[in-house]
Structure 1
Amino acid sequence: MVEALHACGFPVLEGTLYPLLNRLRRDGLIEHEWQESASGPPRKYFALTAEGRTQLARFRDYWTSLTHALTNVGN
């Protein structure tokens, strides 16, 4: 996950990412499961819950309106 975020130009450290993931899990927005890996130790996979998908949709709507407002400032 850290590598994927870095590839998108989003600077993130494991020390900040995992506390955020734990908070999202406690808030019921994501869930995780462990899966065996053929190339090493088991890996933890995260997925949005139904509540997480709802919250993401709300955030995207907010982000769209905020972006629109900022684009039109001074026009």
Structure 2
Amino acid sequence: MARKRIALSIDPEYHELLSKLAEYQKKTVTGVVTDFLDASRPAAESYVNCFSKNWKKGVDQKRNIKESSSFLV
């Protein structure tokens, strides 16, 4: 499946940080950002799973976040 593209705006200081990481790793900034996103995928999946279970129950969003975060530990 083809990858989807998104527009992402970040502050200059964070871009500089990502640029340094990219230089040290001999990657592009896009490659570094992709690595970060890939590493955070389990957390995103946990949040989606928790929210989808509780959405119809009317569970408070803060409780959803707390509950889904507990799966990551």
Normalization by structure 1: what TM-score?
Answer: 0.36
Greater relative contact order (CA < 8 Å, ≥ 6 in sequence):
2
More strand by share: 1
More helix by share: 2
